[in-house]
Amino acid sequence: MQITYSDVITLLTILSLIMVIILLYHLIFVSVSLKRIASRWDDLSKEVESLILRPIGAIEYVLDWFASAVEAVMEQKEKKKEHRKK
């Protein structure tokens, strides 16, 4: 049995098609894995964001409370000054 040039080309074509099919099969699994990784990364970034924003929110609350307390003290001082002038 003699192998011709066209037989070799046909064999190489079939092998390349099989490799392309295997490549596509792996790409499907890689894309699904990347989707899972992206969703986990998104969950992780949300957790980190909440960990960072909680102390910032608490500091903001304390600063607002302190500012309102200072404003109240300043208003009381102004009322006392107005009352003394009358």
Statement: residue 76 has pLDDT above 70: yes
Token pair belonging to 28: 């499907």
Model-level pTM? 0.47
Listed in sequence order, the DSSP H helices in 1-86 are: 5-85
In this prediction, residue 86 carries a pLDDT of 57
- 11-20 tens-digit pLDDT: 999 999 999 9
The pLDDT of residue 23 = 97
User: What is the spatial distance between Cα 77 and Cα 72, in angstroms, rounded to a whole number?
Assistant: 9
**Distance separating alpha carbons of residues 53 and 47, to the nearest angstrom:** 10
Over residues 36-75, the pLDDT tens digits come to 999 999 999 999 988 888 889 899 999 999 999 999 999 8
Q: Has residue 84 got a pLDDT over 70?
A: no
